[in-house]
């Protein structure tokens, strides 16, 4: 009887251990990034409006011309010109456009016309299983931060903090887009020299300020600080454990940047990071009664005590060129040089 109990115990233990190992492997596989196929000439591009309305139809023509110049084939989403107040149609319709573009086998890239506000309103209506089964390139910035982070969080699909349709598409932006998404290169990002500094003895513009020197590796995540702060506590913000986080913003008073970084701090987000990058905060000025802190001082207050490699001033944000960063892939950063190096290709 004792032998039978012992054999039963050992059998149950073996089954439990095997189950735990399989569960762990499935969990690891689920966390492995899903990379979309690289872009190739002739692929279809779904042009859609996930946030603010397109009030001038001419803007659709401009985006279509840009897509053709990339040797890709534009396809307009059904509701791209809808308007519901300041939004580009009802939430469900905008979500349906995204679902249908992911389901379309002829589409390789989903390119939003612009940002504004509204992406967060569609997140509950997206078919994440469908998206995971049909990996494609999705790019955008500003309000698109909620969409690219949520889809990565729910599916492990590598998404891209990069151009919207109405960005400049000048050579520096287009070349970077090609290298990351067409050629699958492991690109190194550093601040490019400003043309105004060409004839100077010293660099004046596009300088970086190191907060804490050093190097770190981790999954790259990030986007607009206002949007990221608003996503804390939701199922749509990816885990920040060991991540390299970059943030940027536009037209925010410095005390509001302080408030949002404080939110990330008390929510435990900042303590999980391996590295931190603050990009550009375009037109971010002290509000009335808050002129005693500079933006740099606020950032140093929050990030310095973390003692992780970090810097301020990366050319990421509402500035040109809008470069293409792969969210969910591993990078190495050097905070002394202000350098981000992709350690793997973002596409297959």
Under a CB-based contact definition with an 8 Å cutoff, are residues 216 and 248 in contact? no
Q: Kindly state the average pLDDT of the residues 129-150.
A: 98
User: Is 142 noted as a catalytic residue in this protein?
Assistant: yes
Q: How many residues does the chain have?
A: 348
Cα–Cα distance measured from residue 146 to residue 148, given in angstroms and rounded to the nearest whole number: 6
Full-model pTM = 0.90
What pLDDT score was predicted for residue 7? 54
Compute the Cα dihedral for 316, 322, 327, 329 and give only its sign. Answer: negative
What pLDDT score was predicted for residue 199? 84
- Looking at per-residue pLDDT, the higher value among 19 and 252 belongs to 252
Compute the Cα dihedral for 97, 98, 104, 109 and give only its sign. Answer: positive
User: Is 192 noted as a catalytic residue in this protein?
Assistant: no
Q: Kindly state the average pLDDT of the residues 225-229.
A: 98
Q: Which of 49, 229, 318, 332 is catalytic?
A: 318
Q: Kindly state the average pLDDT of the residues 147-152.
A: 98
What pLDDT score was predicted for residue 22? 39
Q: Which of 146, 152, 248, 302 is catalytic?
A: 248
User: Is 178 noted as a catalytic residue in this protein?
Assistant: no
Domain 188-342, CATH among 3.50.30.60, 3.40.50.300, 3.30.230.10, 3.30.470.10? 3.50.30.60
Q: Is the pLDDT of residue 198 over 90?
A: no
What pLDDT score was predicted for residue 59? 97
- The band of 203, judged by pLDDT with boundaries at 50, 70 and 90, is confident
- The band of 5, judged by pLDDT with boundaries at 50, 70 and 90, is low
What would the pLDDT profile of 8-48 be if each residue is shown by its tens digit? 544 554 444 444 443 443 333 346 899 999 999 999 999 99
CATH H-level superfamily of 44-167: Murein tetrapeptidase LD-carboxypeptidase, N-terminal domain (3.40.50.10740)
Q: Which of 49, 142, 156, 229 is catalytic?
A: 142
What pLDDT score was predicted for residue 112? 98
Supply 47's token pair.
Answer: 């042009």
Supply 343's token pair.
Answer: 């350690």
- Domain positions in the chain are 44-167, 188-342
């Amino acid at each position: 009887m004792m032998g039978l109990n012992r054999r039963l115990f050992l059998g149950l233990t073996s089954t439990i251990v095997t189950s735990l190992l399989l569960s762990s492997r499935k969990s690891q596989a689920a966390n492995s990034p899903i990379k979309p196929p690289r872009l190739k000439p002739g692929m279809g591009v779904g042009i859609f409006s996930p946030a603010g309305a397109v009030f001038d139809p001419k803007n659709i023509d401009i985006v279509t011309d840009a897509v053709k110049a990339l040797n890709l084939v534009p396809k307009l989403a059904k509701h791209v010109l809808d308007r519901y107040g300041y939004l580009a149609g009802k939430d469900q319709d905008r979500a349906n456009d995204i679902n249908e573009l992911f389901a379309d086998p002829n589409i390789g890239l989903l390119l939003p016309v612009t940002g504004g506000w509204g992406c967060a309103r569609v997140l509950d209506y997206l078919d994440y299983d469908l998206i995971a089964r049909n990996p494609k390139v999705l790019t955008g910035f500003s309000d698109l931060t909620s969409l690219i982070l949520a889809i990565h969080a729910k599916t492990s699909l590598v998404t891209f903090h990069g151009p919207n349709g109405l960005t400049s598409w000048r050579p520096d932006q287009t070349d970077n887009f090609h290298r990351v998404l067409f050629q699958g290169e492991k690109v190194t990002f550093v601040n490019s020299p400003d043309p105004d500094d060409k004839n100077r003895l010293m660099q004046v513009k596009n300088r970086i300020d190191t907060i804490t020197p050093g190097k770190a590796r981790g999954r790259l995540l990030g986007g607009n600080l206002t949007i990221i702060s608003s996503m804390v506590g939701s199922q749509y913000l990816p885990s920040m454990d060991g991540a390299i986080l970059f943030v940027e913003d536009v037209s925010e008073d410095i005390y509001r940047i302080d408030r949002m970084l404080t939110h990330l701090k008390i929510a435990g987000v900042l303590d999980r990071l391996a590295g931190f990058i603050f990009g550009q905060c375009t037109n971010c000025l002290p509000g009335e009664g808050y002129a005693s802190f500079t933006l740099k001082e606020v950032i140093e207050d929050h990030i310095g005590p973390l003692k992780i490699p970090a810097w301020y001033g990366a050319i990421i944000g509402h500035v040109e060129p809008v470069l293409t960063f792969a969210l969910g892939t591993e990078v190495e950063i050097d905070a002394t040089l202000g350098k981000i190096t992709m350690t793997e290709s973002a596409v297959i």
